[in-house]
Amino acid sequence: MNGGRLAIVSGATGGIGRQTARELALRGFDLVLAARRKEDLERLAEECSADGVRSLAVPGDLTLHSACEKAIARAREVFPGHSPALVNLMGAAKFGPFAGMPWQEIEEQIAANLLGPMQLCHAVLPWMLESGGGRIVNVLSVAADRPMAGAAAYGAAKAGLRHFGRILSEEVRRKGVKVTNLLPGATTTPLWDSVGSMPEREDMLTARAVAEAIAWVLDLPADRTIDELSIMPPKGVL
């Protein structure tokens, strides 16, 4: 018999991740929060633990397969009997001409935006299949669909994760696991702090708007799924 609702949120200390954790806690989800920054993660877990909601902080570098397996094993230990949901929000972005970008930065973006989320899916799927199902939300970007100069590594990784999500859905949907690719437009988060030229902040989506979309997907009745969802600022691509 499955326990209460449980969401595993990677990249939980980022702008959208933090808002998603708060939104899901308000909706009564128990939480497993994963990210690198231990102190920030523990503060967020404490903030989200109220009114019967339990929140577990699991710090670690999720670009490492061993860290992903450890995070899921810890979640399963603390929340036995649950049918989990996974929200893949981990990521990294560096923008600039591909030819001038250090190869290490390219590898880091592929690891954070593609390999890490794939590793988490690989680690959590046995749990989902044994418990009779679950939901996976891969949070991507419009860069997964549109060629954007200066975002070659970022866009390629997000596009790869998008196609991975589609294929994974075909493999597991008849086994009760529902996979959604969410493509937000420009969102005002700390990611933009290091970018020289950017859209006007007031024209962007808020992190809360994206978090509410994620929560809406996780709140859907079991008799339906959303394969892909785009959420955009009113002015469109900025």
**What are the tens digits of pLDDT across the range 68-112?**
999 999 999 999 989 999 999 999 988 999 999 999 999 999 999
> Class of 6-231 per CATH?
alpha beta
Distances in whole angstroms, Cα of residue 50 to Cα of each of 32, 58, 74, 77: 14, 18, 21, 21
For position 62, what pLDDT does the model report?
Answer: 96
Residue 229 has pLDDT above 50, yes or no: yes
Per-residue confidence (pLDDT) for residue 186, from 0 to 100: 86
CA 133/CA 178 separation, integer angstroms: 8
Backbone angles phi, psi at 203, to 5 degrees: -85, -10
Question: What radius of gyration, in Å, describes the C-alpha atoms of the chain?
Answer: 17
User: 230: helix, coil or strand?
Assistant: strand
Task: Between 183 and 237, name the one with better pLDDT.
Answer: 183
Phi-psi sector, 176: left (phi>0), alpha (psi -120 to 50), beta: left
Average pLDDT of 159-178? 97
Identify the pLDDT of residue 191. 67
Residues with catalytic roles = 154
Cα–Cα distances in angstroms (integers) from residue 106 to residues 92, 97, 126, 155, in the given order: 10, 11, 31, 11
Nearest to 136 by CA among 2, 9, 5, 32: 9
What pLDDT does 234 receive?
A: 82
The confidence score (pLDDT) of residue 52 equals 83
Please check the confidence at residue 148 and state whether its pLDDT lies above 70: yes
Sign of the alpha-carbon torsion through 67, 68, 71, 74: negative
Tell me the two tokens of residue 146. Answer: 């549109």
For residue 195, is pLDDT > 50? yes
Q: What is the pLDDT of residue 8?
A: 98
Residue 69 neighbours by CB under 8 Å, 6+ apart: 119, 123
**Contact by Cβ (8 Å): 87, 214:** yes
Of 47-56, 136-145, 229-238, which gets the smallest average pLDDT? Answer: 229-238
Compute the average pLDDT of residues 174-199: 81
Dist CA 164 CA 119 (whole Å): 12
Q: Is the pLDDT of residue 225 over 70?
A: yes
Question: pTM for the complete prediction?
Answer: 0.92
Question: Hunting for tokens 């702008």 — which residue is that?
Answer: 15
